[in-house]
Structure 1
Amino acid sequence: MNAPHCCIVGAGRGISAAVAEAFGREGYNVSLLARRPEKLKPLVQDLQKKTGRTLCALGCHADNDDDLRGAIAQAESMLGPVQVLVYNVAASETAKPSALTSDQLIADFRANVVGALTAAQAVAPAMRKARRGTILFTGGGFAYEPAHSYASLSLGKAALRNLTSSLAQELGVDGIHVATVTVYGFIQSGSHFDPRRIAEAYIELHRQPPGRFEIEKVFK
């Protein structure tokens, strides 16, 4: 309970698992929030063995404000205030702009952007009181180069990058580091876009001292 707490929203295999391991090795206990937490049991057990830290998996729908706030509150009741928040949610309908319905776009936007804001709002008060904390969002190259087949996700990643910048301006004065890791490619173990390599960018951002905060690391 004395160890710091890293909360990862949108947990699973890939980037979030690698980030959980990286922060575990940094001495953090880790909460993993996902729609189906029961599927994370083997991952939790594996990471606990590897890092020696405490991990827990909790159910959460990132597109539901009350559900997300409740899951973060539950995680904090178990592991203490969140010092590092990682938002790693990506919801997308594979549809071109001309075929994308407003309902599809709104549903994806709630998960990709509104959920990120809700999570940040949930942890920011304690971080402000402590005058330190880190909020990291997983961005994507679609924010710079939209893909017509992924119109919804492209819009979401562009908006998330914008949100990162405005939150960084507001919260940076309180010692809170807000940044995005922009991944310009598809995740694949053993490749340039290996999750373990990408996780290093999250750690690098977290280690930056006040006055040297970067708001984005582009991994390409």
Structure 2
Amino acid sequence: MTSTQIVVLIVVILAVLLIAAVAARVARRRSLQKTFGPEYDRVVAEKEDRGAAEQELRERQSRHAELELKPLSAESRARYSAAWEEVQVRFVDEPADAVRTADALVTRLIAERGYPTGSYDDQLATLSVEHARTLGHYRDAHEISERNDRGEATTEDLRQALVHYRALVADLLGEEPVQSTDLPRQQSTDDGARPDPARPDIAGSAGR
């Protein structure tokens, strides 16, 4: 084999290795995008560096793999479904308390599934591996819940919080917690002002 042939062979081998490396990187990226869905784009935008974002997502997968997750028994699913129905009933007269109860119920459900509950950020990180598509609901519900604790959430905000919490509950249960998803929607007063969130004037039902 001549020196020219050797050089050509080396170039070909390097090209093949480069193509294989690029293909593997693309495959890993697509796998992360499939696993994390919208969470992938959110982390990339937050990090402003795709490589750093993908490294964080892979670390989430590693931490998730160490968890001892367990499915809920039929009895547990029935218990949480009944508890959620009580939350929706309570919303009619006590929307603020209903949202607090929903937040506590979600935390218990997350814990029973085997996810960490000590830190909200840790909850988000570990939930994102298998429940990324409902993670936005959890973020929105949590944000409204915090405003509720500060007395800054309207009744419509609270209704939306329950809609968001419900999406995560259904995802974690693997089924809808109750048959109907409708919650009472706040009605405006005659002068256009919102009623007092603590004593909402409830009328009608919200559509899906």
What TM-score, normalized by structure 1, do the two folds share? 0.22
Considering only CA atoms, is the larger Rg found in Structure 1 or Structure 2? 2
**Which structure has the highest strand share of the two?**
1
